[in-house]
Amino acid sequence: MNIIKFLDDLSDKQLFETKGSRRDSFNQMKNVGKNMALASIPFALAATSKKTSAATMSMSSAMFQASPTDILNFALTLEYLERDFYQMGMDTSGLIPAADRDVFGQILKHEVSHVDFLATALGDAAIEKPEFDFSGGPGGLSLDTFGNYQIFLALSQGFEDTGVRAYKGQAGALIDNDVLLEYALQIHSVEARHASQVRRMRGEKGWITFNDNTLPDAFSGIYAGEQNTVQGGVNLSGMFEDFGGDAAVTEAFDEPLTMEEVNAIASVFIVS
């Protein structure tokens, strides 16, 4: 499969470049069709869940914590972060090898479109773009993000993997809004595809096993709770020994994160 063509098919230039009101924007989304992926909702390092059960409850609790506007601004913040991250990476001479530039260039194009779309959809309710520090300085880190390609890749994986969990955690808040929920699920699937691609570029599997990872210790919070084997109140541990065992069970499910958990870690990269 040509990954560049695949990623390109996930965007629709006309949809994202058309100007209009919030209502017009959502009408355009609805008319594009169910196979259109509107956006990805990537974010940074997720805070460690206090308990695995807290993560698994986050989708249902989200409906009491956030409005659709809150969630769209949450998404916009994440899109700002990734757009700036990938733009700075692409603009840094010699950082990204020639063989990988097309992939990251395509992902960047998506992020630019996503920011433009969400800002238009929110109108006057859209938040201003934060100032980011991708060295992690605000969080006490000193990452050579744009001087070391392996660190850039690791941070990209961190953003993408966490994005899958971060947006999943807000699905419950959209349960009464069919249009937004439909596109939230499309967004979630695109984010998962980005995450899988970046993980494979790092020589890893395209999915998460238990809470294991090859990132530095500072990134461990991204995978906290992913070792969970209880789904829908059913403990699946030990039930599939002939099909990969508990490792396969944890690979089959991503755990949600609450908005509070994700926002708590934003200070690692947000200056103001």
- pLDDT tens-place string over residues 221-243: 778 888 999 999 999 999 999 99
Closest CA to 127 of 172, 162, 81: 81
pLDDT value, residue 32 = 38
Give domain limits for the chain: 3-268
**Range among 5-14, 33-42, 45-54, 161-170 rated most confident:** 161-170
- Lowest mean per-residue pLDDT among 137-146, 206-215, 244-253: 206-215
Instruction: Tell me how far apart the alpha carbons of residues 76 and 260 are, in angstroms, rounded to a whole number.
Output: 16
Closest CA to 49 of 213, 268, 257: 257
Angle of the 178-201 helix axis to the 98-122 helix axis, nearest 10: 160
* Backbone φ and ψ of 209, nearest 5°: -110, 125
pLDDT value, residue 57 = 46
Looking at the DSSP bridge assignments, the partners of residue 230 are 235
- pLDDT of residue 10 exceeding 60, the answer is no
The CA-based diameter of the chain, rounded to the nearest angstrom, is: 55
State the average pLDDT for the chain.
77
Q: Would the pTM of this model clear 0.85, i.e. be above it? A: no
- Lowest mean per-residue pLDDT among 11-15, 21-25, 96-100, 107-111: 11-15
Q: Could you tell me the two tokens for 39?
A: 């956006």
Closest CA to 251 of 213, 207, 218, 211: 207
* Backbone φ and ψ of 234, nearest 5°: -105, 125
Confidence at 196, pLDDT banded by 50, 70, 90: very high
What top-level class would CATH report for the domain 3-268?
mainly alpha
Number of Cα atoms under 13 Å in the Cβ half of residue 73: 14
Instruction: Tell me how far apart the alpha carbons of residues 110 and 40 are, in angstroms, rounded to a whole number.
Output: 8
pLDDT value, residue 150 = 95
100 in Cβ contact with 201 (< 8 Å): yes
Q: What is the mean pLDDT of residues 253-272?
A: 82
pLDDT digits (tens, 9 = 90+) for 36-88: 332 332 322 333 233 333 444 455 555 556 788 888 898 888 889 989 999 99
